[in-house]
Structure 1
Amino acid sequence: MPQALGPTESEPFRLTLNSDGGKHTRENALTLVALACGLVAFVCGFVVSAHMIASWAGLVGFVVGMYSQYVSATTAERSVNIVAIVGSFVGVAMGIYHGGFIP
């Protein structure tokens, strides 16, 4: 038990969605697309004149996020997917409230 004798060299902090060590390129791409759409929808949902962008980005983000949640491989992906789905839902709801999908 050499690790019990003193501090050991730790790995540098890395932000990754591949917590199991495998490469999940398609799943990570879906997660990031859903997150981007969710952030755009959430931010645009607070701007009345951007209701169309919020509605469409929220709808796309919600659908992509749900599919991404279905095919996700790691817990980190699932966590980001939930944030993306909630952001997309709030964005689409606010977009619909402010005017909907068409101008």
Structure 2
Amino acid sequence: MAQPMRPRTRPAVSLFATDGRSHPLQDALVTVTVVLGILAFVTAMFHHLHLISSWAGLVGIMTGAYGQYVSVTTRERFPLIVGLGASALGFFLGMAHGGLFGGVIN
């Protein structure tokens, strides 16, 4: 007797995963790192926004580093490196313009 064919359902695949599995933690870390990297990089271009750029850069570096530690695929690692670079650049320029507490604590 012939077995009835069941339709194949594909598992939910994330945008950054190539192994056929979903990685919600890694996707969230990629998104947070890239957003914080863009924020830190853009605000670092303005001298008076050094608090935002330095703190956003610092948090972006930490989330990006943890994201690199737990990442599984290359598609996850590539935007993490881009976000880490932007976060680091924003952090260092924010530190040069006044630092994490510059002008707040005398």
Q: CA deviation at 1:19?
A: 1.8
- 1:27 paired residue number: 26
RMSD: 1.2
- For 1:3-82, list aligned pairs within 5 A: 16-82=15-81
Q: CA deviation at 1:33?
A: 0.5
- 2:5 paired residue number: none
Q: CA deviation at 1:18?
A: 1.5
- 1:87 paired residue number: 86
Distance 2:19 2:37 in 1: 25
Alignment size in residue pairs: 89
What secondary structure sits across from 1:49 in the alignment? helix
Q: CA deviation at 1:20?
A: 1.7
Give the gaps of 5 or more residues in structure 1.
Answer: 1-14
Q: CA deviation at 1:37?
A: 0.7
Q: CA deviation at 1:64?
A: 0.6
TM-score by length of 2: 0.80
Structure 1 segments, 4+ long, off by >3 Å, are none
TM-score by length of 1: 0.83
Q: Return the structure number with greater helix share.
A: 1
Q: CA deviation at 1:84?
A: 0.8
Same amino acid, percent of matched pairs: 42
- 1:4 paired residue number: none
Deviation string, structure 1 residues 1-46 (Cα, Å, up to 9, x no partner): xxxxxxxxxxxxxx92112221000111011111111110011111
Give the gaps of 5 or more residues in structure 2.
Answer: 1-13
Distance 1:47 1:20 in 2: 41
